[in-house]
Chains A and B, each alone.
Chain A
Amino acid sequence: MLQRFRHPWTDDRAERTLGAASLIVGVVVVAMVAFVAVHAWPTFAHDGLSWLGPGGNLKDQTEAMQATGAHAPASAYHLNAWPIVYGTLLSTALAVLLALPLAVFSSIFIVELAPRRLRAIAIPVIRLLASVPSVVYGLIGVLVLVPFVGNHIVSDSEKAKYASEVQLNGYSLIVTVAILAVMITPIMVALICEALASVPKTWREGAIALGLNPLRAILAVVVRAARPAIVAAAVLATARALGEAVMVYMVSGVNFWSPRPGDGVTFFFEPLRTLASTIVAFAEGASAPALRSALYAFALLLLFSSLALSVAGYLIKLPLRKYQVRA
């Protein structure tokens, strides 16, 4: 029977088979989104979209939800999840902003500038970094970074100033963002390195021949040619940052507080909570239907963010098409 597969395939059959494989992926993901949406429906039915907004005390609301039983009154579904939506946006955006230049320039370093022996060590070590479990990152955060920030960076007077509103004991935005950045950089470095390495050498040599100094040649030619890959890597890394639950849960303070930019530098030392870490926090304890559907609503929101991210990546790559084979 295997003989059939040995005969050269026609393009039609190949297209159908490959298309079918791709379709499976698409169908499975759409099914997953539909499943989550169906379970999240009660929250939308009772609250519309206002549950995304601010107001109310989210801690009290979630505790109230936990206490309701199977036939919860409509008021039980009410929540204002803005603090955690804001926390998610904030931590993800800052982490990606920090990680992107780090990743791009590290890739330039590894591919173009590093001495051979350093490159031979750096690549496996950075790949290893990508497989360190998130709980280990969380532990590094809890055991090393959080005490460092809480005891040595935040001053006593700062703590006293905000004592009645929020606790500045090290479980903070800055630790979350720093560790998130370190978590997502290896993925980006690996993908961007591949992209930089596949730019034909002659392009760079041509630029140097025209008089550009080597680094400018790299930036102007090689990095520009790899722009679609950089965008793709950034999208993947952002999706990872959005979905990171366990590590954020351990170092962010688990406090429904929205860091206030108006506080100046202290803004970075305030605790926060994100969508993914909230889902993991309540995931097993959520038997109250009100809380269950709220958690599914958070998950739906995360899925939509990934979706929006993907579309944004596509839109960014669109104008790059005129320089590439396909973007």
Chain B
Amino acid sequence: MNAFAPSKGDAGPPALRPASGHGRRSSPFSWRWIDRLALAWAWTAGLLLCLIAGAIVVYMGIRGIQYLRPALLAERPAVGASQSETGGFLDPLEGTGILTLIGILLATPLGVCSALWITEYGRPSWLARIVETSIEVVAGTPDIVIALPPLFTATRDGLQAVPKHMREAAYAIGKTRIATIRRVLLPSVRSNIATGVTLGVSRTIGDTAIVVLLLGLTLRSEPQGSVPGIGLLRGTGSTLTTYVFQNSPAGEGAAPQKAYAAAFVLLVFVLALNLVVGRIGRRQADELGLGAAGAIV
């Protein structure tokens, strides 16, 4: 699938195979300068982004491993005069888990249903416009369904990329629209939904403002009120993100080592989540015959 190396298997029937054995490769040096520039820029951009991403992740990894002890994951945060007394980050860990779970549980059905409705039905069109715009407005605000816009966008783009002929083939054999959605479209956009979920989870976890503005910023979870689930949510006040915030110079700065450890745990948490979701959403490209690229997930 790399554009520059022809795949070994499909040189064609013997009569059409070129005399030199492999297909003729187009050397970049024979292109116009603007194409060469674009090629250079693509490599530069790609490598630059990988370098920056790698540097940040590696730095956080090194610092985190330096300071992370397994005990930290099991202890509740406490107030103490010195580092050894300040406990671990069990509460923030729970808070992150709860926030992510609720955020995704709320956002996924809404996002997928809206994307389906917009692409497959979408009547009346002024309502469709309002819904799409509303979701894009949500993207700029801190709220618990911050996962909704990436999920919606990824699913909608995936649905729009499914070629018309697949739908028409389904209608031709008598399937209703909803049956087509269930049996043909949703499976083929599975990897897009997975991408959307990973992006959504990333945004939910990474947003400090949600916790600061909405959940109140305290160190430990103290359920408020008597309704169990909702009380815990309102009293959460602490996720790994805000724990990092408070222990870093931005907050009180008393325990930067713990902040590094917490940030590292956060990244591991996200990595694990990405792997799980990626596995679920892996696209069976051959099965569907879409001829699209290999699994991006």
Contacts and interface: CB of A to CB of B under 8 A. Distances in A.
B178 interface: yes
Contacts of B149: 236, 239
Interface in A217-238: 217-219, 228-229, 232-233, 235-236
A200 B163 contact: yes
A236 B163 contact: no
A215 B39 contact: yes
Contact of A124 (B209, B274, B292, B294): B274
A131 B161 contact: no
A154 B199 CA distance: 37
Contact of A102 (B45, B110, B296): B45
Contacts, number: 326
A296 to B, nearest CB: 13
Given A21-B110, A280-B212, A325-B164, A191 B157 contact: yes
Nearest to B26: A213
B293 A21 contact: no
Contacts of B9: none
B139 A131 contact: no
B206 A130 contact: yes
A215 B206 contact: no
B134 A236 contact: no
B135 A126 contact: no
Contacts of A115: 2
B88 interface: no
Interface size class of B (residues with CB under 8 A): 35 or more
B133 A310 contact: yes
Nearest to B217: A284
A310 B31 contact: no
Contact of B291 (A113, A201, A217, A309): A201
A297 interface: no
Given A21-B109, A29-B134, A236-B136, A245 B209 contact: yes
Contacts of B275: 124
Task: Summarize B's interface: helix, strand, loop or mixed.
Answer: helix
Nearest to A113: B42
B73 interface: no
Nearest to A138: B250
A283 B217 CA distance: 13
Interface in B111-139: 113-114, 116-121, 123, 127, 129-139
Contacts of A24: 110
B179 A197 contact: no
Interface of B: 1-4, 26, 28, 30-31, 35, 38-39, 41-50, 52-54, 56-57, 60, 109-110, 113-114, 116-121, 123, 127, 129-143, 148-150, 153-154, 156-158, 160-161, 163-164, 176-179, 181, 191-192, 195, 198-199, 201-203, 205-209, 212-213, 241, 244-245, 248-250, 263, 266-267, 270-271, 274-275, 290-294, 296
Given A109-B42, A200-B292, A214-B3, 10 more contacts: A21-B117, A29-B138, A111-B293, A113-B39, A122-B53, A133-B241, A190-B198, A197-B293, A213-B28, A239-B137
23 contacts: A18-B113, A26-B131, A106-B42, A110-B46, A124-B275, A127-B202, A129-B53, A131-B270, A135-B250, A140-B56, A182-B52, A194-B157, A197-B296, A201-B293, A213-B35, A214-B26, A215-B28, A239-B139, A240-B140, A283-B212, A302-B140, A306-B139, A311-B133
Interface of A: 8-11, 13-15, 17-19, 21-26, 28-30, 32-33, 101-102, 105-106, 108-116, 118, 121-136, 138-140, 142, 182, 185-187, 189-191, 193-202, 204, 208, 213-219, 228-229, 232-233, 235-236, 239-240, 242-243, 245-246, 250, 280, 283, 302-303, 305-307, 309-311, 313-314, 324-327
Q: Please provide the 9 A-B residue pairs with the shortest distance between their CB atoms, ordered closest to farther.
A: A109-B46, A131-B202, A21-B113, A29-B134, A14-B178, A239-B139, A197-B293, A105-B45, A243-B140
